[in-house]
A and B are shown apart, each in its own frame.
Chain A
């Protein structure tokens, strides 16, 4: 018999007792429906939860320069000046697990507006992707500065809620001019409130500006070195050229200038170090890969031989990541348990009814055997009937479950996410349940003696 005919025969046999077939499938319908609804609501809440945790910066990977040491004296973390904007560009370019990266230049100074002043806990020079990395893209007012502002070191800034409140006291800061260390900045945007971070420090007490502006106009390290010959002319060459930091660099393209030339005509050296690079991994699972890629890229760029200690540190938010993954695992396992139980209950129902059906149709089995059905034909018939019942039940269950979760979304406004994996699993599992729980009754049927079966009353 072809598969089509086998299924058709099974359908006909089931149609002979539609009420019972319906009641039998009810177990599977409820089981699969519950699974689908639970899965959809569950994944919805789970991803909402993940999003919440991710907005705390769970996927953030931080790169900070390593420790400078001189004569056995260490200067603490982040004191070596080897992290460059080019490093950040390279990470963005060469690390596939990194979604986004932003350099950070920090300053700590007074911000003045009119008669009011305030020292924000953080003044960050960065790029617009900073907000994307920190999941902070909604602004209360205005907009973030642009990449062009970064390239041209424009004097624009975005304020955090606390800073805006302290300086402007309820007025709109947009378009106003504030001064940071006597450099005038135009306010282009106000960030939305983010509150305290896990350590309790206020994240809204912040000023964001293009990193070039902070670097060259506010902290002024590079300019100081080049313009002011106040220090020593010699220090310019020795500290700020990459060729000294990274031995084996390409030879200089230009003829060496004499000390007199240098003194007469100081050249601005645009080497800049940055305090930190913030990157975001594509998702929580890829954090480890991202860290590895970043380490490889930076080791290559900084020409660190294998075995040599790194001049930078890469950190992720392990604590948050662990919370996140354990929450997700817990949710998934919980749902799986519920799903399994309801499907097993449905399966037992199927087995029950199949037994009743086999007993009731003993004479039919005997007859079929008498007219030439082999044991395996009988077995196949009952097995296919069970599987068809389960598959039909599964299909109805999927529709009902999906409808149920849609209703929940509509009425209770819970986050719901359609999960094709759950649907595929439900189809497979319901067929599997049919197979497993249909097998024993089918086997019993196929073992019958045709003579006994025909005589059965």
Chain B
């Protein structure tokens, strides 16, 4: 079983009387330890797909298996728990708590976990993660005292503090200059290589996507390319079929 399996996932938003289909039957798999980019222009359904993959949203139809659990059926409390245990998020705008020290920002997800750590243990885990992202001497700095790259690294440490299997990065370099972007992307590669964390980079930037070994391209609610990983080449033949179906869907 792969880490992520998506079977014919559709998502339709209801705006008043109008149904807006955003995802039109997406199937894909991601294996444990992959570094994947999810590419698409804005309005392509990329964010919606990421929300579903990140268990923040539920598909209208279809199945989503994450690490052997069927996520699309779980109630929201259960999904919150799964998010806490299995998924880390890194956002474009960092989303750090203002006026809160770096280590406390990193320790925040631990408060919602099922393992009740002592204060010492919590702090130790947070410090360990900050060391891992190279912010050993910035433990007690507040976000306003950190540069953009450092803030994003704090965010990465926060995403990793619960030791998740899966890391989502939504436009992680969108607010960074090219040099710090490269640093952050390098860090993702390193995490993928050394710790075998599965990483999904959501981006519209081809340069960013290039750092990953596999690129999934989504356009107009269907996957154009890269549905199945290198290890499941067998499915590749299906890929050619889907755009045609999508095109027909678009015409209709």
A445 to chain B minimum Cβ distance, whole angstroms, is: 14
Residue of A nearest to B78 (CB): A374
> Looking at the complex, which of B29-37, B51-59, B188-196, B208-216 is the stretch in contact with chain A?
B51-59
Q: Is B139 an interface residue (CB 8 A)?
A: no
Q: Quick one: given A5-B111, A16-B97, A450-B56, are A374 and B89 in contact (CB under 8 Å)?
A: no
Q: Contact check, B104 vs A12: say whether CB atoms are below 8 A apart.
A: yes
Chain A contacts of B85 at CB under 8 A?
372
- In the bound assembly, the distance between CA atoms of A365 and B118 in angstroms comes to 24
A418 to chain B minimum Cβ distance, whole angstroms, is: 39
Which positions 417-457 of chain A face chain B at CB distance < 8 Å? 450-451, 454
Q: Contact check, B81 vs A451: say whether CB atoms are below 8 A apart.
A: no
Q: Quick one: given A12-B104, A372-B85, are A367 and B95 in contact (CB under 8 Å)?
A: yes
Q: Contact check, A451 vs B56: say whether CB atoms are below 8 A apart.
A: yes
Q: Contact check, B100 vs A371: say whether CB atoms are below 8 A apart.
A: no
Q: Contact check, B98 vs A374: say whether CB atoms are below 8 A apart.
A: no
Q: Which of B88, B99, B108, B116 contacts A16 (CB 8 A)?
A: B99
Chain B contacts of A363 at CB under 8 A?
93, 95
Q: Is A368 an interface residue (CB 8 A)?
A: yes
* Number of residues on chain A facing chain B (CB within 8 A): 25
- In the bound assembly, the distance between CA atoms of A9 and B162 in angstroms comes to 19
Chain B contacts of A367 at CB under 8 A?
89, 91, 95, 97
- In the bound assembly, the distance between CA atoms of A451 and B51 in angstroms comes to 7
Q: Quick one: given A9-B111, A451-B51, are A375 and B89 in contact (CB under 8 Å)?
A: no
B232 to chain A minimum Cβ distance, whole angstroms, is: 29
- In the bound assembly, the distance between CA atoms of A369 and B108 in angstroms comes to 11
A57 to chain B minimum Cβ distance, whole angstroms, is: 66
Chain A contacts of B93 at CB under 8 A?
363
Which positions 325-383 of chain A face chain B at CB distance < 8 Å? 363-364, 366-377
Q: Quick one: given A367-B95, A371-B109, A372-B109, are A451 and B57 in contact (CB under 8 Å)?
A: yes
Q: Quick one: given A451-B57, A454-B91, are A372 and B112 in contact (CB under 8 Å)?
A: yes
Q: Is A412 an interface residue (CB 8 A)?
A: no
Q: A16-B97, A374-B77 are in contact. List 19 more A-B contacts (CB 8 A).
A: A1-B112, A1-B116, A12-B100, A15-B99, A363-B95, A364-B95, A367-B97, A368-B112, A370-B54, A371-B112, A371-B158, A372-B162, A374-B81, A375-B76, A376-B77, A377-B80, A450-B56, A451-B56, A454-B91
Q: Report, nearest first, the 4 A-B pairs whose CB atoms are least far apart.
A: A372-B84, A371-B109, A372-B112, A16-B99
The interface of chain B, by Cβ under 8 A from chain A, is 51, 54, 56-57, 76-77, 80-81, 83-85, 88-89, 91, 93, 95, 97-100, 104, 108-109, 111-113, 116, 158, 162
The interface of chain A, by Cβ under 8 A from chain B, is 1-2, 5, 9, 12, 15-17, 363-364, 366-377, 450-451, 454
26 pairs, CB–CB < 8 Å, chain A vs chain B? A2-B116, A9-B111, A12-B100, A15-B99, A16-B99, A16-B100, A363-B93, A363-B95, A367-B89, A367-B91, A367-B95, A368-B112, A369-B80, A371-B84, A371-B88, A371-B89, A371-B162, A372-B80, A372-B109, A372-B113, A372-B162, A373-B80, A374-B80, A375-B77, A377-B112, A450-B56
